[in-house]
């Protein structure tokens, strides 16, 4: 989820997690996040002026062993240090336009987290002095802090002493259990991390400290904690675990799955989770003996009801970017359609559709039923009559009951009351309503709306020339327009992932070499990182027509999309060991391809009875390995076992450039699409590469990667699918290692290194 996708209309407060504190007590960016990101978040208020933006300082990793660990204890240890921090904090809030601060110190006084015995009293002093400084400033900044549910850590908080100086306390009522239990007295038992029974017991710690319920906020988790079961036959809470559960494709961390990943898992497997009503939590066994506990709409509501009964102040979520693209978890928590009710200004129809598609100048706008001859009209039904969907009007008649409910009569409404009947049988719509024009626009590029949607199109002179294009006479015009508008590079879908895999590992029994036994084995691998941003946009204009024999047909008159990537890949290709390596024996061909699953990064989806739209950006990595018996010739000429003895690797840093992929594909794309902005690959050969010998003919090992960045658009209107456009850009790199005997008399072995581009799988050479 990028900044522009944050659903600000469904939130009252947004905690930005995290910023860090320097050794001289200034506010700075956390590792891997630019200061510009914190500044751009302030722009969200343009979409919701009532939103309060709070900077969260610290977090769990901040107190991990390292250079940051002593900052909190040192900062609170003296009045001078606290004053310096407070001055810097107030300056940050003023400069960046934030509304307050949340202190997430994990944890004061805890020896295993770098704390000291004086932290509790010093923390109270910090909050007291911060509140006094805010009062003197004449501002009304929010001050909160985060508290654990664990007695082990909470015992070092003077909760009652801190309470008067904060607006509320965020209680982390999640992560009650995890793989860390294995080293605790609890032991390695699978237990739900948001068990309401245990949450209730944890809140007893606050009641004993006489903290008012109205000063506490209940934490909810948009993720699940996972374990690997010791035995798949024992899967209920209390059974034993051996370690963390399988990592998800997006989060990439064993022991945790995001709400998005959980929903993908349920959808793909068709599995049913088990509801523990008393604990208000669900759990599920997935994969190869992995176990997860998580919340859904039912268990969220149970926790909310419990919080309301106690009179808690509100709800805190970790974290909104872990939700799925439909914001299913957030909608369950807020019970709100606020995201669907964001104020916006309408775009002039002449900017959206070609002239020949526009209604006649004397057409009367019909934003509601304006006549009583409505039978068969297509209508859009909103709550409470229906959940925002299309329907067919049947009748509109004067009602025998003219009673007007109090909430409406109080508004001075005096019109007559009518009985309105409708159904979902859209196949029986009136024939004169059978040509419905539809337009869809979606992009993560900040300037797309102004540059592409809310701007004049290029009118075609001939209606018959309409093809698969945007609002322009030909594809090249729109492609050029897409190239011309400037991107805000602070946005985009960010991909920062460690990738890599062992491609080949082979061991055999020990071999006798000159009277000594040596193990024979060969390993081949790729290791490295992707650091990229994706920018994309898609627009479509279509006519939905009723067929004479029933059903519908969708005529896409104009469509265009683009995908642009920036960043780099940093990959190392390597082989090491001694023995014969023959990839063909793996039964996957030579060369062999290892295709990894697609990893989705952001996007959106919307489903209603009338339509479904899914826009899914992704990346995917395909690995390639070929072995060649002989030091000359390509894989297509000589394949087989290569005798190898040594260690070879090469590192390749690939600039992703500034290329744009367009849909539909242009036969003669503008020359500026293929510019010189991509730097040449940077290649490094380690100095510790070594070869101990070679067969008479030598050999070759080729290791390749195909890093795919793509965008899939899946659209269906009233059961009629749109041909799925798919945009993809592929960066292919191969490292080929050739080795052969030298010409000398002392057993020299020579090596050649080639870095090349090769066609991706199933792609013809041209």
Which of 320, 341, 362 is the C-terminal boundary of a domain? 341
Band of pLDDT at residue 636, cut at 50, 70 and 90:
very low
Band of pLDDT at residue 102, cut at 50, 70 and 90:
very high
Determine the Cα–Cα distance for residues 399 and 183; give it in Å rounded to an integer: 70
Question: Is the pLDDT assigned to residue 138 strictly greater than 50?
Answer: yes
Which of 272, 306, 341 is the C-terminal boundary of a domain? 341
pLDDT at residue 308, rounded to an integer? 96
Specify the residue for token string 């939103």: 51
Task: Locate the DSSP E strands across 43-179.
Answer: 52-58, 100-104, 142-147, 168-171
pLDDT at residue 753, rounded to an integer? 84
Determine the Cα–Cα distance for residues 321 and 177; give it in Å rounded to an integer: 22
pLDDT at residue 386, rounded to an integer? 56
In a domain, 523, yes or no: yes
The residues, any chain, with a CB within 8 Å of residue 267's CB and separated by 6 or more, are none
Tokens of 372: 């009583």
Determine the Cα–Cα distance for residues 317 and 321; give it in Å rounded to an integer: 10
pLDDT at residue 335, rounded to an integer? 74
Band of pLDDT at residue 473, cut at 50, 70 and 90:
very low
Band of pLDDT at residue 251, cut at 50, 70 and 90:
confident
pLDDT at residue 487, rounded to an integer? 60
Picking from 80-84, 320-324, 665-669, 688-692, which range would have the lowest pLDDT averaged per residue? 665-669
Question: Is the pLDDT assigned to residue 6 strictly greater than 60?
Answer: yes
pLDDT at residue 562, rounded to an integer? 83
pLDDT at residue 662, rounded to an integer? 77
CA neighbours closer than 13 Å in the CB half-sphere of residue 500: 14
- CB contact at 8 A, 193 and 175: yes
Determine the Cα–Cα distance for residues 591 and 701; give it in Å rounded to an integer: 10
Name the most confidently modeled range: 232-236, 484-488, 633-637.
232-236
Q: Which of 370, 416, 363 is closest to 393 using CA atoms?
A: 370
pLDDT at residue 764, rounded to an integer? 32
Tokens of 259: 């709400």
Band of pLDDT at residue 460, cut at 50, 70 and 90:
very low
Q: What does the pLDDT average to over 498-517?
A: 68
267 vs 374, higher pLDDT: 267
Determine the Cα–Cα distance for residues 6 and 399; give it in Å rounded to an integer: 44
* 215 φ, ψ (degrees, to nearest 5): -105, 10
Give the distance from CA 637 to its chain's centroid: 44
pLDDT at residue 631, rounded to an integer? 67
Specify the residue for token string 């040596």: 518
pLDDT at residue 469, rounded to an integer? 32
Q: What does the pLDDT average to over 38-66?
A: 92
pLDDT at residue 583, rounded to an integer? 78
pLDDT at residue 45, rounded to an integer? 87
pLDDT at residue 118, rounded to an integer? 96
pLDDT at residue 370, rounded to an integer? 43
Q: What does the pLDDT average to over 506-531?
A: 72
Q: What does the pLDDT average to over 218-247?
A: 94
757 vs 637, higher pLDDT: 757
The residues, any chain, with a CB within 8 Å of residue 99's CB and separated by 6 or more, are 52, 53, 54, 93, 141, 142
Residue 483 DSSP symbol: H
238 vs 586, higher pLDDT: 238
Q: Which of 25, 251, 202 is closest to 130 using CA atoms?
A: 25
String of DSSP letters for 254-287: TTEEEHHHHHHHHHHH---PEEETTTTEEEEEET
pLDDT at residue 435, rounded to an integer? 65
The 10 Å Cβ neighbour count of residue 737 is 25
pLDDT at residue 426, rounded to an integer? 60
The residues, any chain, with a CB within 8 Å of residue 623's CB and separated by 6 or more, are 501, 503, 526, 593, 594, 595, 596, 703, 704, 705, 706
- CB contact at 8 A, 506 and 585: no
Question: Is the pLDDT assigned to residue 658 strictly greater than 90?
Answer: no
Name the most confidently modeled range: 17-31, 242-256, 441-455, 565-579.
17-31
CATH classification of the domain holding 34: 3.20.20.80
Give the distance from CA 708 to its chain's centroid: 17
In a domain, 575, yes or no: yes
Q: What does the pLDDT average to over 430-454?
A: 71
Determine the Cα–Cα distance for residues 704 and 588; give it in Å rounded to an integer: 15
SS3 call for 321? helix
SS3 call for 66? coil
Specify the residue for token string 């070092």: 156
Condensed to tens digits (0 to 9), the pLDDT of residues 691-728 reads 887 777 788 888 999 999 988 888 776 666 666 677 88
- CB contact at 8 A, 281 and 299: yes
Residue 417 DSSP symbol: P
SS3 call for 518? strand
In a domain, 711, yes or no: yes
In a domain, 752, yes or no: yes
128 vs 753, higher pLDDT: 128
pLDDT cut 90: percent of the chain above it: 41
In a domain, 274, yes or no: no
Band of pLDDT at residue 340, cut at 50, 70 and 90:
low
Q: Which of 655, 630, 660, 641 is closest to 752 using CA atoms?
A: 630
Burial class (CB in 10 A: 0-12, 13-18, 19+), 618: buried
State the average pLDDT for the chain. Answer: 81
Determine the Cα–Cα distance for residues 382 and 732; give it in Å rounded to an integer: 49
Picking from 341-350, 618-627, 722-731, 736-745, which range would have the lowest pLDDT averaged per residue? 341-350
- CB contact at 8 A, 529 and 496: yes
* 519 φ, ψ (degrees, to nearest 5): -75, 140
- CB contact at 8 A, 639 and 628: yes
In a domain, 570, yes or no: yes
Question: Is the pLDDT assigned to residue 762 strictly greater than 60?
Answer: no
506 torsion bin: left (phi>0), alpha (psi -120 to 50), beta (else): beta
pLDDT at residue 96, rounded to an integer? 93
pLDDT at residue 486, rounded to an integer? 63
pLDDT cut 70: percent of the chain above it: 75
Q: What does the pLDDT average to over 609-626?
A: 82
Q: Which of 21, 31, 164, 141 is closest to 85 using CA atoms?
A: 21
Tally of structural domains, the chain: 2
In a domain, 106, yes or no: yes
pLDDT at residue 715, rounded to an integer? 77
Q: What does the pLDDT average to over 157-179?
A: 97
Determine the Cα–Cα distance for residues 720 and 551; give it in Å rounded to an integer: 9
Q: Which of 546, 519, 693, 715 is closest to 616 using CA atoms?
A: 715
Band of pLDDT at residue 117, cut at 50, 70 and 90:
very high
The 10 Å Cβ neighbour count of residue 293 is 27
Determine the Cα–Cα distance for residues 52 and 49; give it in Å rounded to an integer: 8
Picking from 79-93, 336-350, 416-430, 585-599, which range would have the lowest pLDDT averaged per residue? 336-350
SS3 call for 566? strand
Picking from 48-52, 145-149, 244-248, 437-441, which range would have the lowest pLDDT averaged per residue? 437-441
Q: Which of 503, 506, 695 is closest to 591 using CA atoms?
A: 503
Which of 286, 310, 341 is the C-terminal boundary of a domain? 341
Question: Can you list the pairs that 503-508 forms with residues at least 24 positions away whose Cβ atoms lie under 8 Å?
Answer: 503/594, 503/623, 503/625, 503/703, 504/581, 504/583, 504/586, 504/625, 506/579, 506/581, 508/579
In a domain, 254, yes or no: no
Question: Is the pLDDT assigned to residue 320 strictly greater than 70?
Answer: yes
For residue 537, the enclosing domain spans 479-756
Condensed to tens digits (0 to 9), the pLDDT of residues 342-386 reads 566 667 767 777 776 676 666 555 444 444 445 666 666 655 565
């Amino acid at each position: 989820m990028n900044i522009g996708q944050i659903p600000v209309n469904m939130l009252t407060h947004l905690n930005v997690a995290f910023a860090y504190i320097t050794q001289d007590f200034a506010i700075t960016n956390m590792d891997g996040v630019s200061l510009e990101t914190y500044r751009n978040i302030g722009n969200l208020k343009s979409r919701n002026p009532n939103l309060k933006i709070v900077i969260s300082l610290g977090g769990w990793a901040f107190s991990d062993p390292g250079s940051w660990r002593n900052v909190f204890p040192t900062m609170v240890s003296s009045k001078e240090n606290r004053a310096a921090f407070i001055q810097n904090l107030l300056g940050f809030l003023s400069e960046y336009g934030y509304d307050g601060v949340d202190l997430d110190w994990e944890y004061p006084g805890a020896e295993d987290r770098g704390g000291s015995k004086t932290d509790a009293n010093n923390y109270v002093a910090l909050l007291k002095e911060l509140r006094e400084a805010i009062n003197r400033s004449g501002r009304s900044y929010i001050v909160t802090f985060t508290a654990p549910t664990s007695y082990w850590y909470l015992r070092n908080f003077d909760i009652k002493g801190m309470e008067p100086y904060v607006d509320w306390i965020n209680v982390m009522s999640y992560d009650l259990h995890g793989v860390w239990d294995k080293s605790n007295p609890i032991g390695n038992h699978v237990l739900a991390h948001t068990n309401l029974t245990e949450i209730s017991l944890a809140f007893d710690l606050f009641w004993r400290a006489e903290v008012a319920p109205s000063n506490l906020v209940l934490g909810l988790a948009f993720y699940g904690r996972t374990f690997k079961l010791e035995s798949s036959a024992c899967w209920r809470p209390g059974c034993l675990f051996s370690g963390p559960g399988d990592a998800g494709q997006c989060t990439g961390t064993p022991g945790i799955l995001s709400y998005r990943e959980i929903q993908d898992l349920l959808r793909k497997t068709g599995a049913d989770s088990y509801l523990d009503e008393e604990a208000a939590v669900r759990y599920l066994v997935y994969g190869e003996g992995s176990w997860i506990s998580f919340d859904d709409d039912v268990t969220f509501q149970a926790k909310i009801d419990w919080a309301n009964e106690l009179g808690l102040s509100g709800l805190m979520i970790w974290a909104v970017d872990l939700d799925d693209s439909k914001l299913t978890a957030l909608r369950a928590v807020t019970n709100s359609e606020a995201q669907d009710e964001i104020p916006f200004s309408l775009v002039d129809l002449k900017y959206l559709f070609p002239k020949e598609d526009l209604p006649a100048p004397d057409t009367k706008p019909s934003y509601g039923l304006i006549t009583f001859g409505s039978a068969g009209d297509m209508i859009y039904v909103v709550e409470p009559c229906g959940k925002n969907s299309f329907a067919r009007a049947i009748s509109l008649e004067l009602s025998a009951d003219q009673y007007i409910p109090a909430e409406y009569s109080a508004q001075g409404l005096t019109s007559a009351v009518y009985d309105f009947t409708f159904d979902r049988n859209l196949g029986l719509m009136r024939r004169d309503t059978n040509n419905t024009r539809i337009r869809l626009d979606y992009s993560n590029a900040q300037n797309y709306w102004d540059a592409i949607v809310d701007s004049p199109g290029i009118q075609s002179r001939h209606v018959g020339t309409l093809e698969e294009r945007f609002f322009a006479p030909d594809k090249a015009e729109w492609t050029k327009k897409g190239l011309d508008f400037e991107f805000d590079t602070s946005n985009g879908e960010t991909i920062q992932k460690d990738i890599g895999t062992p491609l080949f590992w082979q061991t055999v029994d020990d071999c006798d070499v000159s009277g000594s036994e040596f193990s024979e084995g060969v390993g081949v691998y790729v290791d490295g990182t992707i650091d990229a941003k994706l920018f994309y946009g898609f627009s479509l204009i279509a006519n939905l027509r009723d067929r004479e024999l029933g059903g519908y047909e969708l005529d896409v008159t104009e469509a265009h999309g683009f995908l642009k990537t920036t960043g780099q890949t940093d990959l190392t290709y390597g082989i090491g060991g001694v023995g014969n390596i023959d990839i063909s024996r793996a039964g996957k061909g030579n060369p062999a391809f290892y295709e990894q699953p697609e990893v989705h990064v952001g996007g959106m989806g919307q489903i209603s009875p009338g339509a479904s739209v899914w826009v899914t950006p992704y990346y995917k990595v395909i690995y390639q390995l070929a072995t060649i018996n002989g030091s000359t010739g390509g894989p297509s000429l000589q394949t087989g076992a290569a005798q190898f003895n040594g260690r070879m690797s090469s590192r390749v840093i690939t600039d992703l450039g500034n290329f744009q992929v367009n849909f539909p594909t242009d036969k003669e794309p503008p020359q500026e699409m293929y510019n010189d902005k991509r730097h040449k690959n940077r290649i490094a050969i380690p100095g510790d590469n070594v070869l101990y010998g070679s067969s008479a003919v030598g050999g070759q090992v080729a290791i390749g990667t195909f890093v795919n960045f793509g965008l899939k658009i899946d659209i269906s209107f009233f059961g009629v699918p749109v041909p799925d456009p798919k945009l993809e850009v592929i960066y292919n790199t191969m490292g080929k290692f050739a080795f052969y005997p030298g010409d000398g008399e002392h057993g020299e072995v020579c090596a050649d290194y080639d870095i090349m581009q090769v066609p991706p799988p199933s792609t013809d050479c041209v």
